Amino acid sequence: MALMTSKQYVESLAKMKRNIWFQGKKIEDPIHHPLLIPSRKCLEEIYDMALMPEYEDLLTATSQFTGHKINRFNHIYNSIEDLNKKTKMQRLMGQRTGSCFQRCVIMDMANAFYPTTYEIDEKYGTEYFDRFKKFLIKCQDEDLIVAGALTDPKGSRGAKIGSDEQDKDLYMRVVERRPDGVVVNGAKCHITGATNAHEIVCLPTQAMRPGQEDYAIAFHLPLDTPGITMIVGRQSCDTRKMEDPANIDVGNATFGGIEALTVLDHVFVPNENIFLNGEVEFAGMLVDLFAGGHRNSYGGCKSGVGDVVIGAASLIAQYNGTEKASHIKDKLVEMTQLNEQLYCCGIASGAEGWKTKAGNYMVDLLLANVCKLNVTRYPYEIVRLMEDIAGGIMVTAPSEADLRSEEVGKYVEKYLVGCGVDAENRIRVLRLCENLALGTAAVGYRTESMHGAGSPQAQKIIIGRQGNFEMKKELAKHLAGVKEA
Ligand code: SF4
Ligand code: FE
């Protein structure tokens, strides 16, 4: 089996005994918990669409290892075309879900592990490349969802990794070495989609130096491994999903993203699951390639969600009766220009991709970092314009319960009516705007745009490194006729 149905996916999750917590309580039935369902629905949508002929080209690929048809989210990019299809697939899924759909992290990690493990083996004669390939083939053939975990809690950013100044576990580390594996201890922050994944892959949070071997550790584990605890992050307006009914007030009642603080409390990792173990000089390569791939991803997913933001803004302008005003048209055009710039950067960084020693294709790192740096700015402006168009009623409209009330419902219906549309439909669109700007979707569209795949300063460091200022100085010298002694 290389493609699962969404039903099989849910059944496979139900068999796992996962340790998930929210608001101080263990979630005993994660499959039916209303907080977790919208996040899982995004992943179900990916499974369903991969089986539809009209999406086959974007959502599936052929594995170069087995020749089987697999989900593109578990694919190694073999060409520039693969990189472009990745961006197009992400835009499509952003449009379909209006949220973070949570399956891209492993795709970008796999394409970083592939060349990195190849080069580690080349230097040290280790077996990481084959191990990683074996794991990936299993994920492809069983159509598994794998959460990718990079970010360590870190504590004080001023303290050095492993120093006595603070708790050493603030960076994930090996605390015991055994002949058959290692014991790790630590936590990974805001792990996208962890609550609905089968496996987790952990890698170092940043480049490492000699002396930090215990922190240069990468591996995979099933997410129901004893010792793993997932604590679901709070999101603005999240408990609206737990109300009855959880419909209009949620804004987007079907889909949503989730992140979890994922703790590994003295967990044993067998040797065959390890992809990096003390080869400190390769931690930086792994992180840079993953970050580059994921920064390219944001050109796809954020422009897809941006399409929903623009759609919601146009619709509410129509329902407010302002659609024909020239300043509204101008704002919609500006939103579109900004959104397409994000997509341009996603496509361009893929189109300028390059072949690694291992044979897979990697995006252009300079352009991918420019892509992500734009993502730290433009969605904020796009959402600001949407809020401007929607009006203050976006955050002051009465609840669904008031709309349905026998006593006050008539007032809500009378006074919230729109241009050619009843109050219910107008409120539905206002709540979607609220969800995208300030609610659960804003985690993915706003703050994640800032900090996901690295905060802006991380992109500036790479842009500074890749900007090739010396070459540009030479261009200027040549045209200015400078002849230095
Ligand atoms: Fe995918 Fe975007 Fe979510 Fe990252 S933020 S997992 S790229 S949808
Ligand atoms: Fe992300």
Clarify whether residues 199 and 329 are in a common domain.
Answer: no
CA distances from 93 to 44, 177, 261, 293, 472 (A): 12, 42, 25, 17, 39
Q: Enumerate residues with CB within 5 Å of ligand 2 (an ion).
A: 452
- Tokens at 407, concatenated: 């006593």
Residue 20 lies in a domain: yes
Nearest to 226 by CA among 268, 171, 172: 268
Residue from 118, 215, 298, 378 carrying the catalytic annotation: 298
Say yes or no: 183 and 205 in one domain. yes
Residue with tokens 């300063």: 457
Distance (Å) from CA 167 to ligand 2 centroid: 27
> Does the residue 320 lie in any domain?
yes
- Rg (C-alpha) for the chain, rounded Å, is 24
221 and 272 in a single domain? The answer is yes
Cα–Cα distance between 453 and 364 in angstroms, integer? 16
Instruction: Give how far Cα 462 sits from Cα of 95, 291, 349, 367, Å.
Output: 30, 10, 14, 10
Establish if 481 belongs to a structural domain: no
Supply the residue whose CA is at minimum distance from atom 8 of ligand 1.
Answer: 100
pLDDT score of 1 more than 80: no
Distance 468 CA to ligand 2 centre (A): 28
Tell me the average pLDDT across 458-468.
Answer: 96
CA distance 267 to 228: 7
Identify the helix (H) or strand (E) that includes residue 71: strand 69-71
Pocket test for ligand 1, best of 87, 95, 100, 371 (most atoms within 8 A of CB): 100
CATH number at residue 321: 1.20.140.10
**Torsion angle in degrees (nearest 10) through CA of 363, 369, 371, 376:** 150
Of 102, 296, 305, the residue with max ligand 1 atoms within 8 A of its CB, to mutate for a pocket test, comes to 102
Q: How large is the average pLDDT for residues 94-100?
A: 97
> Residue 13's pLDDT is what?
98
* Average pLDDT for 179-187: 98
Active-site hit among 87, 97, 192, 356:
192
**pLDDT averaged over every residue in the chain:** 97
Around 441, how many Cα atoms within 13 Å sit in the side-chain half-sphere? 29
Query: Same structural domain for residues 162 and 217?
Result: yes
List all residues 6 or more positions away from 330 whose beta carbon is below 8 Å from its beta carbon. none
What is the mean predicted confidence (pLDDT) over 401-405?
98
- What is the pLDDT averaged over residues 157-183? 96
Q: Is residue 220 among the annotated active site residues?
A: no
Whether residue 229 lies in the annotated active site: no
Instruction: Tell me how far the alpha carbon of residue 304 lies from the centroid of ligand 2, in angstroms.
Output: 14
> Does 136 lie in the same domain as 54?
yes
Which residues form the pocket of ligand 1, taking CB atoms under 6 Å from any ligand atom? 100-102, 104-105, 192, 297-298, 301, 444, 448, 452
Q: Is 166's pLDDT higher than 90?
A: yes
Q: Within this chain, do residues 409 and 465 fall inside the same structural domain, yes or no?
A: yes
- Report the domain count for the chain: 2
Residue nearest to atom 5 of ligand 1 (CA): 100
Is the pLDDT at 386 greater than 80? The verdict is: yes
Which ligand 1 atom is at minimum distance from the Cα of 301? 2
C-alpha pair distances (Å), 373 with each of 157, 191, 366, 421, 428? 22, 21, 11, 39, 32
Under 8 Å between Cβ of 436 and 255: no
pLDDT at position 18, please? 97
Q: How far apart are CA 377 and CA 367, in angstroms?
A: 16
Residue 95 is predicted with a pLDDT of 98
Strand (E) or helix (H) holding 310: helix 283-320
Residue 182, helix vs strand vs coil: strand
319 and 265 share a domain?
A: no
Instruction: Specify whether the CB–CB gap between 105 and 259 falls below 8 A.
Output: no
Question: Does this model's pTM top 0.95?
Answer: yes
Q: Considering 218, 253, 281, which residue would you say is the last residue of a domain? A: 281
pLDDT in tens, 16-73: 999 999 999 999 999 999 999 999 999 999 999 999 999 999 999 999 999 999 999 9
Q: Is residue 224 part of a domain?
A: yes
295 inside domain? yes
Is 9 noted as a catalytic residue in this protein? no
**Which protein residue has the closest C-alpha to ligand 1 atom 3?**
100
Residue ending a domain, among 218, 246, 281, is: 281
On whether both 178 and 327 belong to a single domain, the answer is no
Do residues 293 and 232 both lie within one domain? no
Task: Using pLDDT thresholds of 50, 70 and 90, give the confidence band for residue 485.
Answer: confident
pLDDT higher than 90, residue 220: yes
Determine which helix (DSSP H) or strand (DSSP E) holds 277, and give its type and residue range: strand 274-277
Question: Ligand 1 atom closest to Cα of 294?
Answer: 7
Q: Are 325 and 331 in contact (CB under 8 A)?
A: no
Residue 263 belongs to what H/E stretch? strand 259-270
Rounded mean pLDDT, 240-269: 97
pLDDT at 294 exceeding the cut of 90: yes
Whole domain around residue 56: which residue ranges? 9-281
Q: Encode 145-155: b = buried (16+ Cβ within 10 Å), e = exposed.
A: bbbbbbbbbee
